[in-house]
Amino acid sequence: MDNLRKKAKELLESKTVDLVIGYENGTNGKARAVFIKDPEKTGKLIYDDRCKQNLAVYLNKHEVKHYGKIAIVAPLMVMRSVLVLVSECQLKPENIVVLGIGEDGSLLDFPSLEVVEKYIAKIPLGNPEPDQVIIDKLNAMSMEQRREFWQNELERCFKCYACRAACPMCYCLRCTVECNQPQWISAPAHPLGNLEWHQLRTMHLTGRCVSCGDCGRACPLNIPIHLLTMQQAEEAFHMFGVRAGTSQKADSALSTYKPDDKENFIL
């Protein structure tokens, strides 16, 4: 943690960056995001198990984009999000400094995003253990049981779109749900509209989700919607060999193909 604070201070003092995004102690013993411009305030920075939020979501916010160069405290999911955003032209590599956090919580020094790529290449990627356990359980159920599970869960959704706001990849200027010519998604929060919305969200994140789980955490009704995109992330890897957020190049699952992609259902 000292290293992190020291490094952040150095970066701000030397004007290498204009803003540091990190975590600080919030109320009720929780960690929350903090935006630091003053090098003297870097002492606020913390990193521990409570720091779960994917800070990359702020990188695309209007208020943040105005700062030139930004340093971001980046556990694995944030690193991956940064790479996704770079590959999708939403972030310029020269405008970001990654203050990497290793699996053991230590500060990792990344002189460039290439080194981040190398680091990620060495780490086994996948969904967080507890989530994958639930996904496996769901996959073990019958089709009917799964349908009931999701119907019961999704029924409760009242379309607050907190999931969308929490996701670093949901940065569109106009979401498809706001499209009414044609009306792709039924507007009210009824079972059909909910199902359509979550299908849309899941498909749009296929090959782009970095399994941070923030959508699920953001849901005020605790609907485990993060499982949908996480399952798709695994599928994209198994079907196409692609993991989101491993490279700065645009090679996302659905914008590329291999002539010999293997499926077993096309007649």
Rule CB under 8 A: which of 13-72 touch other proteins?
none
Q: Which stretch binds other proteins (CB under 8 A): 31-39, 40-48, 64-72, 117-125?
A: 117-125
Handedness of CA 223, 226, 232, 237 (dihedral sign): negative
- Contact call for residue 152 and other proteins (CB under 8 A): no
CB 119 within 8 A of CB 110: yes
**Cβ partners under 8 Å of residue 153, min gap 6:** 223, 224, 225
Q: Is 153 left (phi over 0), alpha (psi -120 to 50) or beta?
A: alpha
Q: Which stretch binds other proteins (CB under 8 A): 13-21, 43-51, 137-145, 160-168?
A: 137-145
Residue whose C-alpha is closest to residue 199's, from 184, 210, 183, 180: 184
- Contact call for residue 122 and other proteins (CB under 8 A): yes
- Contact call for residue 180 and other proteins (CB under 8 A): no
Question: From CA 255, how far away is CA 200, in angstroms rounded?
Answer: 16
Using CB under 8 A as the binding criterion, the count of chain residues that bind other proteins stands at 76
Question: From CA 166, how far away is CA 189, in angstroms rounded?
Answer: 19
- Contact call for residue 192 and other proteins (CB under 8 A): yes
Residue whose C-alpha is closest to residue 217's, from 156, 131, 132, 100: 131
Q: Distance of CA 72 to CAs 81, 83, 161, 218, Å?
A: 11, 13, 25, 21
Residues 45-70: b if buried by 16+ CB within 10 A, e if exposed: bbbeeebebbbbbbbbeeeeeeeeeb
Choose, by CB under 8 A, the member of 26, 68, 191, 220 that binds other proteins.
191
> What is the DSSP code (8-state) at residue 125?
P
- Contact call for residue 250 and other proteins (CB under 8 A): yes
- Contact call for residue 246 and other proteins (CB under 8 A): no
Q: Which stretch binds other proteins (CB under 8 A): 30-38, 64-72, 159-167, 174-182?
A: 174-182
Instruction: Output 49 or 260, the one with its CB closest to other proteins.
Output: 260
**Smallest distance from other proteins to CB 262, Å:** 9
Q: Which stretch binds other proteins (CB under 8 A): 33-41, 143-151, 160-168, 214-222?
A: 143-151
Choose, by CB under 8 A, the member of 109, 137, 156, 221 that binds other proteins.
109
- Contact call for residue 139 and other proteins (CB under 8 A): yes
Instruction: Output 38 or 261, the one with its CB closest to other proteins.
Output: 261
Instruction: Output 5 or 204, the one with its CB closest to other proteins.
Output: 204
